[in-house]
Structure 1
Amino acid sequence: MKLIKAYIRHRKTEEVYNALKKEGFFSMTLVRCEGTGRYSDHEKEHINDQYPFTDAYRVIKLEILVADEHVAPVIQLIRQNGRTGYRGDGMIIVSPVDEVFKVRTDENGILAV
């Protein structure tokens, strides 16, 4: 199993979410956060009023746990639907997951996903 974390533009969230759902990936976590990086469109993003000393802008962190064989298709869906072609489109991180347990049912492993 792998945990995929994708940091995407706020305005691309609906497209990415709908594309994943359409392909059967329903269980995910979406978190509003703020990010900084090497990008040039500072004026086009929502500059952070809370941390004016930074050039942080709003991003969404999408987290999704998938079986190993689903990693490539999920990454492809995120890239296709989250891309604008401009700097600051985000990043995708894939990490191994040793164990998963469902709190309510005690299921574990891929059955818990």
Structure 2
Amino acid sequence: MKLIKAYIRHNMFEPVQRALSNKGYTSMTVMEAEGMGSYSDPKDQHSSLKFPALHSKVIKLEMVSEANHVDDIIQIIHENGSTGHSGDGLIVVLPVEQSIRVRDGEERKYTL
């Protein structure tokens, strides 16, 4: 199992989510976030009282997937989330060692 974290432009979430859903990838966690760094689009940066440094609003998308689906998910996010400009985001893939269902405590361990 793998954990996929994608940080994408706020306005690109809907096409990414729609494309993922059309391929059957419907389970995800979505959060609004703010990021800063050399990758940011200078035209989309702003500051606020909460974060005085220049930053960009992003959507953080998290999905846990079987390893054989990861390349397909990455391709969908890339194709539907890219504008071709700096600040489009980042996709990170991490191994998942185990999962525990909150409802009943069922535990699954995965080989890496």
Asked if TM exceeds 0.5, the reply is yes
TM-score, normalised relative to structure 1 = 0.87
Instruction: Quote the Cα distance in structure 1 between the aligned partners of 2:14 and 2:87.
Output: 17
C-alpha contact (below 8 Å) 2:2/2:67 kept by paired residues: yes
CA contact (8 A) 1:48 1:58 kept: no
Residue identity opposite 1:25 in structure 2 = Y
TM-score under structure 2 length normalisation: 0.88
Residue of structure 2 in register with 1:103 after alignment: 102
How far apart, CA to CA, are the structure 1 residues paired with 2:89 and 2:40? 13
Partners of 1:108 and 1:36 lie apart in 2 by 37
| Structure 1: segments with no counterpart, 5+ residues | none
Assess, with a 3 A threshold, how the Cα gap between structure 1 residues 92 and 40 changes in structure 2: closer, same or farther: closer
Q: Which amino acid aligns with 1:62?
A: L
* 1:71 and 2:82 are equivalent in the alignment: no
SS in 1 for 2:100: coil
Equivalent-residue separation in structure 1 for 2:66 and 2:40 (angstroms): 36
Q: Distance between the aligned counterparts of 1:72 and 1:35, measured in 2?
A: 25
Amino acid at match of 2:73: V
Ranges in structure 2 where 5+ consecutive residues have no aligned partner:
none
- Judging by fraction of residues, say which structure has more strand: 2
- Tell me the equivalent position of 2:51: 51
CA deviation string 1:51-74 (max 9, x = no partner): 23x111100100000000000000
The superposition leaves residues 67-113 of structure 1 with CA deviations (integer Å, 9 ceiling, x where unpaired) of: 00000000000000000000010000000000012212444449xxx
Runs of 4+ with >3 A deviation? 105-110
Conserved in 1, the CA contact under 8 Å of 2:30 and 2:60?
A: yes
Deviation by residue 1:26-54 (Cα, 9 ceiling, x = unmatched): 110001000012246323x25132323x1
Most deviating of 79-88 and 33-42:
33-42
Instruction: Give the alignment's Cα RMSD to 1 decimal.
Output: 1.7
Contact 2:41/2:56 (8 A) holds in 1:
no
